[in-house]
Amino acid sequence: MSAAALPAAGASSANASRGVLLMLLLPGLVALVITFLLPLIWLFRASFASSTMGAFSGGDWTVQSYSAVLFDPFYWRVAWNTLVLGFNVAIFAVILSYPIALFLVRTESRFRGVLTALAVAPLLTSSVVRTYGWMVILGDRGVINSTLQSLSLTGGVIRLTNNSFGATVALIEILMPYAILAMLSGFGRLNPQLEEAAAMLGANRVKVFTRIILPLSAPGVLTAALLVFVLAISSFVTPRLMGGGRVFVLGTEVFNEATVTLNWPLAAALSVMLLILFSSIILLYQRALRALET
């Protein structure tokens, strides 16, 4: 109202507040440019360089790394493995986290804060440590196999590690806290009163869930799925340790090319392709989210 009455003063104060906003953004922007944008540009440039052992020579531009990746069926398989791993991890992490997040949002227990902290407490330990934990559980002489054998339920060893199964299981558990956190913040539209209203209109518990809770929690579920998917396809420690060198995903291959084979341009090209994968997934996500919310 005051802006309408005093347009000049309103405009200048808007300008001033925009200036303040920019000033507030500046430190973050500078940090982002230095730590994110510049390395990204460097990565992009490196992916077009010719491969030299363990170094990066500027100057020439070549697409040899890209053609090496695109014409090698191995990398197509790696990309496929990565997508499958990401989808599996995202789906199971979301399915397992959904009831927990739903409980934490809806409970009236006074321990709600403690329970929420407990649910995300695994984030306090390194994912490497937790991966080793899973190796102890799933290993050939691990808890599961030795229990099964001592009960004489199985003849031989069931392979649970050194394959994509182990990597998937460990990643699901490691990424579940992120899924829970994303859902907790994404369940804002859930409201017990809406469920009561639906019940008053004749909806039983199943109908309340399918018609009210599920659609209203869908944006949170989608966000959680995206987050877990992105974290899963970019992970390399867990697939590498749990895969025992037999699971090839983009993350492990980038690591390999950069530190073992020392083919930095190839590693850079793989990273750029991972980035393209991310971007397209995020675009899909935004489209899906818009469809859900309108």
Partner 1 sequence: MADHHVVIDNLVKTYPGAQKPSVDHVSFSLPRGEMLALLGPSGCGKTTILRMIAGLIAPTSGAIRLEGRDVSSIAVYKRNLGMVFQAYALFPHMTVAQNVSFGLEMRKVSRAEREERVRKALDLVKLTGLGDRKVNQLSGGQQQRAAIARSLVIEPELLLLDEPLSNLDAKLRDEMRDEIRDIQARTGVTAIFVTHDQDEALSMADRLAVMSAGRLEQVGTPREIFDRPQTEFVASFIGAGTFFEGRVAEPGLAVVEGLKPLRFVGEAPVGSMVKLMIRPHRLVLAGSSGLPNSFTGTVEHIVYRGQMLTLNVRCGGRLLQADLPTHAGVLPEKGSEVTLAVAPQDVTLVGQVAP
Out of 135, 179, 212, 247, point to the residue binding partner 1 (CB under 8 A): 212
199 is a contact residue toward partner 1 (CB under 8 A)? yes
Residue 293 Cβ vs partner 1, minimum distance, rounded to whole Å? 8
Nearest CA among 128, 158, 167 for reference residue 246: 167
Out of 197, 282, 283, 291, point to the residue binding partner 1 (CB under 8 A): 197
Nearest CA among 89, 31, 48, 44 for reference residue 275: 44
Out of 78, 198, 233, 270, point to the residue binding partner 1 (CB under 8 A): 198
215 is a contact residue toward partner 1 (CB under 8 A)? yes
Helices (H) and strands (E) in the chain, counts: 15, 0
Cβ distance to partner 1 smaller for residue 11 or 201:
201
Residue 226 Cβ vs partner 1, minimum distance, rounded to whole Å? 20
Residue 194 Cβ vs partner 1, minimum distance, rounded to whole Å? 5
162 pairs with which residues across the strands? none
Question: Which run of H or E residues covers position 269?
Answer: helix 264-293
Residues of span 132-191 touching partner 1 by CB under 8 A: 189, 191
* Amino acid at site 14: A
Nearest CA among 255, 247, 215 for reference residue 131: 247
Q: What does R_g of the chain's alpha carbons equal in angstroms?
A: 25
2 is a contact residue toward partner 1 (CB under 8 A)? no
202 is a contact residue toward partner 1 (CB under 8 A)? yes
Residue 17 Cβ vs partner 1, minimum distance, rounded to whole Å? 27
Residues of span 23-42 touching partner 1 by CB under 8 A: none
Residues with Cβ within 8 Å of 104's Cβ and at least 6 positions away in sequence, in order, are 112, 115, 116, 119, 180, 184
30/25 Cα distance (integer angstroms): 9
211 is a contact residue toward partner 1 (CB under 8 A)? yes
Enumerate binding residues for partner 1 (CB under 8 A): 189, 191, 193-194, 196-204, 207, 211-212, 215-216
